[in-house]
Amino acid sequence: MQRWAGRVAMVTGASSGIGAAITKELVKNGLKVIGMARRVENIEALSASLQSAAGQLYPVKADLTRENEVCSVFRWVKSNLGGVDVLVNSAGVASANSLIDGPVEKWKHILELNILGQSLCTKEAIQSMNERGVNDGHIVNINSVAGHVIPPINLPIYMYAASKTANVMLTEGLRRELLRTNSKIRITSLSPGTVRTDLPEASGLTDPYQDNPYLEPQDVADAVVYVLGTRPHVQVSELIIRPMGETRI
């Protein structure tokens, strides 16, 4: 990770859970990190706790479903920090809903954030790297085991799972597009199993942790550090991590 010290990273969904853990770890490793989320006050509180860290955290408020807000953040980064060298797409939403009954608004929110919002951030980050001649950047998409399997019949998260399956395709598609341009920018899909966060409660899902093993956000942050810390000729295109004994998905 030493080669990333002083470089600029952006983490979406940095206000809580996995995104907050990744943000904290990157700052501790000496990166300048733009933490992006709607609940910017949470990132500001995290920033205050990292005053003695090797890097620096820049809290930024933005809604990833609004293109103008996302582009405004990237313009700010260009003006103040030069540009983005690492992007961690951690923002995401899930909800319990039916493919028969909807509601459609929940479908739209999942697709707009998990697919379109992520793709917009990725596009802007790649453009930032290319216009500065950065050929060693890295994009990490925080995916899910739900993107690789069909959810259990009693777990109504098919639209969420579909968005994560799309994540697998988008990650591989970007890898191939970068390959065609002889770019050395790396792209990784990181798929954890069940992680203990506030996402299930906020999404109206039943408690997935009761009698089930789970990962902590720090476990995912450690995996991101591993991926970024591999030598430049190594591309971890897909990494799946699960809690020991997980059988739910």
| Catalytic residue set | 160
Q: Which of 223, 216, 248 is nearest to 238 (CA)?
A: 223
Six token digits for residue 214? 């789970």
Assign 3-class secondary structure to 160-187. Answer: HHHHHHHHHHHHHHHHHHHHHCCCCCEE
- Helix (H) / strand (E) element for 138: namely strand 138-142
Alpha-carbon distance 102 to 199, whole Å?
A: 19
What is the b/e burial string over 109-131, where b = at least 16 CB atoms within 10 angstroms of the residue's CB?
bbbbbbbebbbbbbebbbebbee
CA angle 32/38/43 to nearest 5° reads 40
The answer to whether the Cα torsion of 50, 191, 88, 108 is positive or negative is negative
Note the helical H segments in 82-117: 104-111
CB atoms within 10 A of CB 224: 25
Strand-pairing partners, residue 60, are 36
User: Rounded to an integer, what distance in angstroms lies between the CA atom of residue 209 and that of residue 35?
Assistant: 27
